[in-house]
Chains A and B, each alone.
Chain A
């Protein structure tokens, strides 16, 4: 099966406000997808439902044919926008935690990535800066041999100089038979690595196409097209 992620007619409400209004999306293996949209367009809600952090109201979400649950979670490596690593641990403790919890976690790969980022394994998490914590999380997430990688704003909290290093690490470390979904506002930084882009507007897919085709068709960069669609 080439479809790694299949979403059909997904609906979600917060109180009376409908955030997802029949969202449809299919993601094939081997693709890097840019999931783009302004604030409150429904991106985060969608990502949280895929990861089992929110329950859907209706619709279908299948991860490699599995409903959301322990089996689907074992296939997804998720980098949230928030810092989820515990302050009371050392970096080496977190590595141990991931090794214990995920069968597909590559310990050596994580150590290598952390070393590339210049992070001390004996450092206490509470003493790390926000940017360093994000690098630790990214190293952990990209060191799993998952089927789907979902990265929510992976470069938002770091300086422009570190962005290239992070993006290179992402590209270098994701297995070719998996798929990578990147949610970001920093379109210029990621548009060259995306195979496809998805524009989310008002809780629905507004546009889903191959990046090169879009650029050729509109004679614009993805960033310019984004600004046009959302009238920035």
Chain B
């Protein structure tokens, strides 16, 4: 077990190292990142000064080492637009993103697990058919379109919910619904399939035969045993939610990390962009690591190799 954890930890560290290379290279894709850093009206002398200040006159490997040394010290560079260290700027926006993603998670897990269980209880029934169509639709609707439609219907026409800002829970409803939509489809499918697997088992048949109420069989016997893939997928969906938050936050003017990142991209604030991508990636890696451990904990039959 300890060996397994250490091994996964080692793999995660290598992944983070790989991410640092990709993030570093992203800003240099255009050839000269300096052109992204300086304002167009800068003089030649100013350009050279900035070039030296960012060590961009050094060879690439050396630049990378400088970057990594900074990152290891927690120094991710300075935002050009805000003229402040980039990392605190990103971390300050992180809670808002996590709040939105959590709300979306609650919505998608709530609906997805309920519909999935009901579908599996009666395969081919109307809940199942409706659920299947819903899941198909869920994975085909663009999040940004759904966001706009939600704003049009519930914000503009019906005036039930505000369409931008983040002060109260009412602000959370529309963005969370738009963001959670896609995950709801995935949760429905995996719950249905996990439940169908379990419902076929002998102990479920026994529970039925001994006269247990069908509701109890499903909630107490089946759902508990089907929970492993469901919990795993739920954690992985959290990653998808953080990814999708980029678009949702932009549409609903939600003050999270995703919108900060998109704004920074348009402002050509590359240190800030790099930091946001890096922080989001670390979140990904950490979640994956946690899922692996959780999976092993929930299912002792999984061999640690």
Chain A complexes with chain B: no
